[in-house]
A and B are shown apart, each in its own frame.
Chain A
Amino acid sequence: MIKKIFAGIIVLAYSSALWAQDDLLASLEAEQADQKMLVEATFKGTRLINGHSIETRKKGVMDFMISHRFGTIDGGFYELFGLDYAQIRIGLEYAVTDRLYVGLGRNSFEKTYDGFAKYRVLRQSTGKGSMPISATWLSSMAIKTLKDPENDLAFTDKLSFTHQLLIARKYEKLSFQIMPTWVHRNLIGEEDDTNDILAMGVGGRVKFSQRVALCVEYYYQFEPLNNTTTNALAIGFDIETGGHVFQLQFTNATAMVPSSFITQTTNDFFEGEIHFGFNISRTFQVN
């Protein structure tokens, strides 16, 4: 009995092989089955909203980025819903390789200069030997240059550092990301509680169409800098048009550098202290 079944299976296997041979296309496609493919475009931009996404640009691409966060919309018509006032960050970023991405920027919030390096450690893929997630390491350094006449600060006193492990997964139109974060300040004020802040960010996006996506991002601080700070929440839209990505957002954060917006946000989203803002990214293929 067992032998018969075995024989039957062999015959079936061979006859199906015959079939495949008969259909040229099917036999070609059988060769391509299980080929490993990287999952691209988990997010549209290198920023989820305020913070970084796992994405980097491809080798040789330069990205010029302009970001604004306006005043709070509860200022009403008198302040044109916050548009009278704006924090700005201008940044220039470059992809050294497909995995390594570096950037410099200047944020008007506390006149902060920042530099960062991002490295794609893992890339989500499909097919044989596939990787279920993408992971990117981010290290950012910021220098606060706002004049402080009352205190004589050394250069190192003005530095702060952020390290993040960004982990994401894309499911067709849905992408999720978690961001374990460590922010370190060399010097803190008298009212502040801690030099080191651990935070966990969560976020995601859903694509509505090929060019428009809704994004959400939230950073929870396990121990805040002091009792006046709040957790940064942001909701935004990504709109893509050829070489540009426009990100429009509503957030309680005004800063655009990780160490600042994660730990120094003071507005309360649910009290209406919401800022409208945007990031515009323009890419150039440099080499």
Chain B
Amino acid sequence: MINTKNLKHRLMSLRFVLWELHLYTDTHGCDCETKKLTESFRRQYKELLKEYECKYGPLTPMHDEDCMWTETPFPWANCGGDC
């Protein structure tokens, strides 16, 4: 269940919205409304991603500036919903 107070869950929600919009444009093209929605969610995502990576480490190897890739848990680890 998504907990809106949880930073990781908030990031997941924004990623989900952006992904749904992207899949939609695959078959519908990008109209004005979709473009506006995508831009606004992408701005929020970029900000939250910065905060998330500061706290939990890099999301992808390309963001791994401080060699933290194997220092932070992989997503299948069960953290009891706290992370």
Are A and B co-members of a single complex?
no
Q: Which residues of B contact A (CB under 8 A)?
A: none
